[in-house]
Structure 1
Amino acid sequence: MKKFANLAAGLVLTAALAVSVTACTPTKNNPAQAAAQSAHDHEPSTTPDGAAVETVDGAEEKKNMVVTEDPAVTVCVYSMKDDHSGLKQNMDTIDGEELDAQKLIDKMAELGVLEKDIKVNSFENKDGVLTLDLSSLEKKDDRLLLLAISNTFVQNYDAKTLKLKVDGKEVGEMEFVKKWKEISADQLK
């Protein structure tokens, strides 16, 4: 009985091997298909703007590179949870090649953190100490809002502290709060 089992297993293995070898065997090339593919490989192609593209060893080298995306900076903006029970983190982008305080304030307004039309009167980054003077801030007594502004600026500018002013009057100096996920509005009072 043992011999019969070994013989059956051997036949199954041989059949499987024959099928796999047949599947891997290359087929004969069709001369017409090979000629058409060769002609296609040597055709000059163009980019959407009409610039010629040369093919060299399968790699396309563009004579005139087309850049379709405008430069943008990825930023982290902190905002209040919908029920105002704490903060949440939002990743977004602002246009431009480098970080800009006014654009960061505009992004915070776009995300509903700040009211619209707040202007940056002045902004300074000196040795990791940021000084931000805003034209207005309706809820400057809202400590959760101040924490959102502070964490947003300190993180994005990789700073130590933020001195916040509203129309020249100092509101306070704040540091980044690492436990922003765990903090609530009640803890800030």
Structure 2
Amino acid sequence: MTGVDVPQIFAVCVAEFGDRVHVVGDQWGAPSALPGWTVQELVRHVVEEDRWAPPLFAGATIAEIGDRFSGDLLGTDPVGAFDTAAVSALDAVREAGAMERTVHLSFGDLPGAEYALQLAADHLVHAWDLARSIGADDRLDPAAAAALAAWFVPVQPLYRQAGVIGEPVPVPAAAGPQARLLGMMGRTP
């Protein structure tokens, strides 16, 4: 995406998710907005992604990382686990040259900027999922939602084909960027 500060968008999206993690309170075992997942499982998913980011940005392959991030990543302090993983992911994205570096993902090699946008979108959409799960404010940063909605238009068929998002949910033509992004990601805004 030309003219987009990808590390800044990623930072905003991490903060959006983190804001919701910090207000989960005693709702860790509650069902999440994602069928079959609890709030804790949703947060664990994002923590796992954040833990994968540093080695992937450093050039490691999926095979080299192996099952390093399997199991309980949250321990007795899920908020602290998220905070620690988020800082590591932010550092990896902000590292000089990270956006131009090749990242080896399970479905192929991509530029670091593309991987960072994938991570940003996941953080932002899961911020909405988490907010819905715990009754928190579900309004997302409008600039980040707009940038990610524009990025996602051409790549959404690939995500759908890979089975990582649901079918699109139609939204009105005049819907804002948050609703457009959520609809493309299979959520009912």
Larger proportion of helix: 2
TM-score class, shorter: under 0.3
More strand by share: 1
Q: TM-score, normalised by structure 2?
A: 0.27
User: Which protein has the larger Cα radius of gyration, Structure 1 or Structure 2?
Assistant: 1
| TM-score normalised by length of structure 1 | 0.27
Larger relative contact order (C-alpha < 8 A, sep ≥ 6)?
A: 2
